Amino acid sequence: MKFILDNILLVAAAVVSGAMLIWPLIARRFGDVTEVDTVGAVQLINRRDAVVLDVREQHEYAAGHIPGSKHIPLGALPNRLREVEKHKDRPVLVICRSGNRSTGACGLLKKHGFGEVRALKGGIQAWEQANLPVERK
């Protein structure tokens, strides 16, 4: 107990950083974001003509992305929603690196009236591990 009292700032920093690490897991589990695996993603793209929205940063996108995907970084998405609004009637598959940023993008899209929004579980990492096609620019 003395250690905690003597190092209250250190303990507070540890608690806050721990909470930040587990928050994406909690938000994903209790949020209303639907995730699909790579098989479900391929089916959405091929059978339902889903729009693939990549919300990673430019350098990540250039390193490898799903062919035909639309690139809008997550930070720019609120200001660039008009670019994807014409696709509200189609399923939207949101991609990021590992699956964390895409859940935030899905929430934003749902708030703006997009009906069928899905996040790729595991992100582009899962896509590449499944040996699915990737373009590099």
What CATH number does the domain located at 33-129 have?
3.40.250.10
- What order do you get walking across the sheet with 117-120 strand by strand? 34-36, 117-120, 92-95, 51-54, 70-71
Q: What is the pLDDT of residues 57-110, one digit of tens each?
A: 999 999 999 999 999 999 999 999 999 999 999 999 999 999 889 988 999 999
Q: How far is CA 105 from the centre of its chain?
A: 6
Query: Using 50, 70 and 90 to split pLDDT, how confident is the model at 33?
Result: confident
Q: How far is CA 108 from CA 38, 63, 76, 78, 80, in A?
A: 22, 25, 12, 8, 12
Is residue 16 over pLDDT 90? no
Q: In the predicted model, what is the mean pLDDT of the chain?
A: 90
Q: Please indicate whether residue 23 or residue 43 has the higher confidence score (pLDDT).
A: 43
| Catalytic (active site) residue 106 | no
**106 vs 84: CA distance, rounded Å:** 13
Q: Which of 65, 69, 48, 66 is nearest to 115 (CA)?
A: 48
Determine the pLDDT at residue 55: 98
Q: Which of 33, 77, 96, 105 is catalytic?
A: 96
